[in-house]
């Protein structure tokens, strides 16, 4: 199995460990390798950046900071070198800061809430408690400090810079469109032959990414995916030890579903940190699984591994 390329942003609900499972289904969808990849809830981007498709990747998220960050990499403005310079200075200031780093964390958080710098966004994403991302209703960063004044040790900075290097490589290799739009606008771009991957906030579980997620949103998503001419895969949760996802019975049960046990290591509350049965809902008949056969794709995985 090729290595999964991990992006520099952290967030609860990140699908890193589920990428091979999702890609197996993508490769069984019977779509051409030149198909366009449509991803309306991009998040950290770990699924899209590891997609086996070569066509244009049209991705969106309602969180402007995610989109702004990846657009900065795409324009060549955010590079491993610029990030290293930023994080090296931040590391020094954080470790020298009063209140065990908290004073500097607060300074960056307040500056980010005012100026929205993508560098400060990465700082907060990597220095926040438990790798979580949450904003309050004014759109301000709402996760406390991880309480580690030595968070940005040299090896950790190198790891983040390498992640930026890998993502920049993938963005150069394929055609990418990063859009700060509502999911409906992204799904409506899909045409026959495209493949859509959706990973919305999980109804009744995570409601704290950038904006909330209601049953009305779930219905709008269900209607948009029901009328799309493209093939789609939707991630959702099926059940956990406490309860089942009512949305499956009410809406998604009319499509095909496959499930897998999964453990989320980070989340806001204890239920979200327990194991859950994940579901992939899809609207196509399974075909024989294709092998990733693009030389370029394999070279990339080998270079990064």
Ligand X SMILES: C[S@@+](CC[C@H](N)C(=O)[O-])C[C@H]1O[C@@H](n2cnc3c(N)ncnc32)[C@H](O)[C@@H]1O
Q: Tell me which of 22, 36, 61, 278 binds ligand X, using CB under 6 A.
A: 61
State the Cα–Cα distance between residues 187 and 59, nearest whole angstrom.
10
Which run of H or E residues covers position 238?
A: strand 231-240
- Nearest CA-CA partner of 44 in 152, 125, 141, 108: 125
Q: Is 267 in the site for ligand X (CB under 6 A)?
A: no
Query: Residue number with the shortest CB distance to ligand X?
Result: 43
Q: Does 183 bind ligand X (CB under 6 A)?
A: yes
- How many residues belong to the site for ligand X (CB under 6 A)? 23
What are residue 57's DSSP bridge partners?
Answer: 37, 176
* Piece of the chain touching ligand X by CB under 6 A; list 68-76, 105-113, 157-165, 195-203: 195-203
- Given the rule CB under 6 A, which of 118-126, 198-206, 239-247, 283-291 is the region that contacts ligand X? 198-206
CB 167 → ligand X: shortest distance, Å?
13
In the bound state with ligand X, the residue whose beta carbon lies nearer, of 8 and 101, is: 8
The footprint of ligand X on residues 202-221 (CB under 6 A) is: 209-211, 213
The distance of closest approach from Cβ of residue 264 to ligand X in the complex, given in angstroms and rounded to an integer, is 11
- Find the part of the chain contacting ligand X (CB under 6 A) among 115-123, 199-207, 250-258, 261-269: 199-207
Among 35, 37, 44, 164, interactor with ligand X by CB under 6 A: 44
Shortest distance (Å) from residue 219 CB to ligand X = 13
Q: Angle, to 10 degrees, between the axis of helix 118-127 and the axis of helix 80-96?
A: 50
Of 50, 63, 163, 272, the one binding ligand X (CB under 6 A) is 63
Interface with ligand X includes 149 (CB under 6 A)? no
**173 contacts 296 by C-beta, under 8 angstroms:** yes
Asked if residue 15 binds ligand X (CB under 6 A), the reply is: yes
Mode of pairing for the β-strands spanning 256-263 and 275-282 = antiparallel
142 binds ligand X (CB under 6 A): no
Name the one range near ligand X by CB under 6 A: 9-17, 78-86, 241-249, 288-296: 9-17
Q: What is the 3-state secondary structure (H, E, C) of 58-105?
A: EEECCCHHHHHHHHHHHCCCCCHHHHHHHHHHHHHHHHHCCHHHHHHH
**Per-residue tokens: 229:** 């001419």
> Do 151 and 32 touch, CB atoms closer than 8 A?
no
Binding part of the chain for ligand X, among 20-28, 30-38, 196-204, 267-275 by CB under 6 A, reads 196-204
Q: Does 199 bind ligand X (CB under 6 A)?
A: yes
Tokens read off for 267: 């989340």
Give the dihedral sign, CA 189/190/194/198. Answer: positive
What token pair was written down for 29? Answer: 């969808």
- Contacts with ligand X by CB under 6 A lie at 11, 13-15, 40-41, 43-44, 46-47, 60-63, 182-183, 199-201, 209-211, 213
């Amino acid at each position: 199995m090729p290595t999964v390329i991990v992006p520099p942003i952290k967030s609860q609900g990140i699908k890193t460990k589920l990428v091979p499972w999702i890609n197996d289904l993508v490769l069984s969808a019977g779509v051409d390798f030149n198909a366009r990849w449509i991803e309306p809830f991009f998040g950290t981007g770990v699924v899209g950046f590891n997609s086996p498709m070569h066509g244009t990747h049209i991705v969106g998220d309602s969180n402007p900071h995610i989109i702004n960050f990846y657009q900065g990499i795409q324009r060549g403005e955010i590079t491993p070198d610029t990030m290293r310079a930023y994080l090296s200075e931040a590391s020094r200031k954080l470790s020298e800061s009063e209140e065990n780093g908290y004073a500097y964390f607060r300074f960056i958080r307040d500056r980010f809430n005012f100026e929205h710098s993508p560098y400060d966004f990465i700082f907060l994403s990597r220095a926040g408690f438990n790798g979580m991302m949450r904003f309050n209703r004014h759109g301000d960063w709402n996760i406390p400090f991880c309480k580690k004044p030595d968070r940005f040790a040299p090896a950790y900075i190198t790891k983040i810079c390498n992640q930026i290097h890998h993502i920049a490589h993938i963005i150069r290799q394929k055609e990418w469109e990063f859009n700060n739009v509502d999911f409906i606008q992204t799904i409506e771009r899909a045409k026959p032959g495209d493949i859509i991957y959706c990973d919305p906030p999980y109804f009744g579980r995570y409601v704290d990414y950038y904006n909330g997620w209601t049953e009305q949103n779930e219905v709008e998503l269900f209607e948009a995916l029901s009328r799309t001419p493209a093939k789609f895969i939707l991630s959702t949760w099926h059940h956990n030890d406490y309860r089942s996802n009512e949305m499956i019975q009410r809406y998604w049960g009319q499509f095909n579903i496959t499930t897998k046990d999964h453990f989320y290591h980070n989340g806001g509350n204890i239920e979200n940190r327990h194991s859950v049965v994940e579901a992939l809902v899809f609207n196509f008949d399974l075909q024989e699984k294709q092998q990733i056969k693009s030389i370029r794709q394999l070279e990339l995985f080998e270079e990064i591994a």
